[in-house]
């Protein structure tokens, strides 16, 4: 795929972002939201996810992204390592043991073996594979119901919406694969392509929902979709620790090939552990939702407050907020979220960045 053509580059990098951002969040959280709140829960997840991620690249100039990368680099490195571990956990939890291990190894090896142009072609292949998986699933005549019956009152999702939106609006700033795509393509069109491709992918995932099963139809097509997307995301983030630097910018010192391997194997081990006999049927979903807390709580709070309050105070705030998030996301008591969200908003508006900026994200 020649990058001499701006349109071809934008399409290639847009599909790259879509594949790298189709995590185990986008491939499973829609089912959790549908099970709990019905279709309104799905849309509460869908809209800020697509708008937040596409909006990041559409609104940021290349100069702005360079400044963001330099300023957020350590936090971006941890974001990639946690993301690698999260995908590996999901592979260990949801896929057969050998299959999960193969997916993780394939992702790690791809980070070392393939150059940049190959990754763009791989992005096209992932998009085609996703379409084929959808077609294979629909050949069975299985369509999701127009109405999904949530197990919790649909009104409860109102309290959930601000926290969901916060995570999806904040986390794109920390994604090194987004930084690379925006800088290498040099075009905002990249993220327009991404928004369309990713939105279609999320809608496609919802096709596997079954109201009768209260979850997804776990056919071979869905397992194939999970496997391809997980391997790509693991590889894309692991690669940020070893790939050629973007426009001469530094990479996170703690994001190395070795740390990526440790993150992946640790996540995989946790995924296998929650499947062990005697652990309980809900252990996997609880662990999945607990890890989701990194993206709904830890990373957004760190992004917004890291230069405004002392690190010890920030850590204390996150620790205090954690039980509230657990009650909301694991226990389903969403009203508990109002306290942490209001506290974050008050602190953000009342404090100044180290550079003197008050009220707006200074990055």
- Give, in order, the Cα–Cα distances in Å from 193 to each of 2, 8, 58, 62, 325: 17, 11, 10, 17, 33
126 in Cβ contact with 228 (< 8 Å): yes
Whole-number Å distance between alpha carbons of 193 and 201: 12
The 8-class DSSP code of residue 358 comes to B
Specify the number of domains making up the chain.
Answer: 1
In a domain, 26, yes or no: yes
In a domain, 182, yes or no: yes
Q: Can you spell out the DSSP letters for 150-208?
A: -SS-GGGHHHHHHHHHHHHHHGGGG-HHHHHHHHHH--THHHHHHHHHHHHHHHHHHTT
In a domain, 300, yes or no: no
pTM score of the predicted model:
0.93
Whole-number Å distance between alpha carbons of 227 and 359: 42
- Give, in order, the Cα–Cα distances in Å from 236 to each of 84, 132, 318: 9, 22, 28
Whole-number Å distance between alpha carbons of 261 and 105: 9
In a domain, 353, yes or no: no
In a domain, 174, yes or no: yes
Burial of 101 (0-12, 13-18, 19+ CB in 10 A): middle
- Asked whether the CA dihedral 109, 23, 322, 317 is positive or negative, the reply is positive
User: Which residue segment(s) compose the domain that 227 sits in?
Assistant: 6-284
Alpha carbon 226 to its chain's center: 14
Whole-number Å distance between alpha carbons of 295 and 87: 13
Closest CA to 163 of 354, 59, 292, 9: 292
pLDDT of residue 363: 43
In a domain, 319, yes or no: no
Closest CA to 78 of 263, 274, 246, 223: 263
Residue 10: which residues within 8 A CB-CB, separation 6 or more? 185, 187, 189, 190, 192, 193
Whole-number Å distance between alpha carbons of 282 and 274: 9
pLDDT of residue 73: 93
In a domain, 324, yes or no: no
Residue 113: which residues within 8 A CB-CB, separation 6 or more? none
Q: 209 has which bridge partners?
A: 216
Provide the 3-class DSSP secondary structure of residue 220: helix
In a domain, 108, yes or no: yes
pLDDT of residue 77: 95
Closest CA to 204 of 119, 142, 154, 160: 142
Provide the residue-wise pLDDT of the chain in tens; the chain has 363 residues: 544 577 888 999 999 999 999 999 999 999 999 999 999 999 999 999 999 988 898 888 889 999 998 899 999 999 999 999 999 999 999 999 999 999 999 999 999 999 989 999 999 999 999 999 999 988 866 666 666 677 888 888 889 999 999 999 999 999 999 999 999 888 889 999 999 999 999 999 999 998 888 889 999 999 999 999 999 999 999 999 887 777 777 888 899 999 999 999 999 999 999 998 888 778 999 999 999 999 999 999 999 999 899 999 999 999 999 999 999 999 889 999 999 999 999 999 999 876 655 544 444
Backbone angles phi, psi at 246, to 5 degrees: -85, 115
Buried b (16+ CB within 10 A) or exposed e, 155-191: ebbebbbbbbbbbbbbbbbbbbbbbbbbbbbebbbbb
- Give, in order, the Cα–Cα distances in Å from 298 to each of 168, 243, 318, 320: 13, 27, 6, 11
């Amino acid at each position: 795929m020649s990058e001499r053509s701006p349109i071809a580059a934008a399409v290639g990098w847009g599909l790259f972002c879509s594949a790298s951002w189709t995590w185990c969040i986008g491939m499973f959280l829609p089912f959790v939201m549908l099970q709990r709140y019905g279709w309104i829960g799905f849309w509460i997840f869908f809209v800020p996810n697509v708008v937040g991620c596409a909006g990041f690249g559409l609104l940021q100039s290349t100069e702005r992204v360079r400044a963001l990368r330099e300023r957020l680099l350590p936090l971006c490195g941890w974001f990639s390592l946690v993301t690698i571990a999260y995908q590996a956990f999901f592979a260990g939890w949801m896929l057969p043991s050998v299959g999960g291990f193969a997916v993780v190894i394939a992702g790690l090896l791809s980070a070392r073996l393939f150059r940049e142009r190959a990754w763009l072609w791989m992005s096209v292949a992932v998009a085609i594979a996703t379409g084929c998986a959808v077609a294979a699933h629909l050949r069975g005549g299985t369509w999701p119901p127009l109405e999904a019956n949530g197990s919790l009152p649909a009104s409860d999702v109102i309290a959930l919406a601000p926290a969901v939106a916060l995570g999806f609006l904040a986390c794109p700033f920390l994604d090194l694969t987004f930084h690379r795509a925006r800088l290498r393509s040099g075009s905002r069109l990249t993220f327009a392509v991404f928004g369309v491709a990713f939105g279609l992918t999320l809608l496609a995932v919802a096709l596997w929902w079954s109201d009768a099963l209260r979850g997804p139809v776990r056919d071979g097509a869905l397992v194939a979709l999970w496997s391809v997307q997980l391997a790509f995301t693991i590889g894309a983030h692991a690669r940020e620790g070893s790939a050629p630097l973007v426009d001469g910018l530094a990479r996170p010192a703690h994001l190395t090939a070795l740390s990526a391997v440790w993150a992946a194997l640790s996540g995989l081990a946790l995924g296998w552990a929650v499947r062990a006999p005697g652990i309980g049927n809900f252990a996997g979903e609880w662990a999945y939702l607990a890890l989701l807390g990194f993206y709904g709580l830890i990373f957004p709070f760190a992004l917004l407050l890291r230069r405004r309050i002392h690190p010890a105070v920030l850590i204390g705030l996150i620790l205090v907020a954690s039980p509230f998030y657990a009650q909301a996301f694991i226990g389903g008591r969403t009203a508990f979220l109002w306290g942490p969200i209001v506290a974050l908003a008050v602190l953000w508006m009342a404090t100044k960045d180290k550079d003197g900026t008050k009220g707006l994200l200074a990055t």
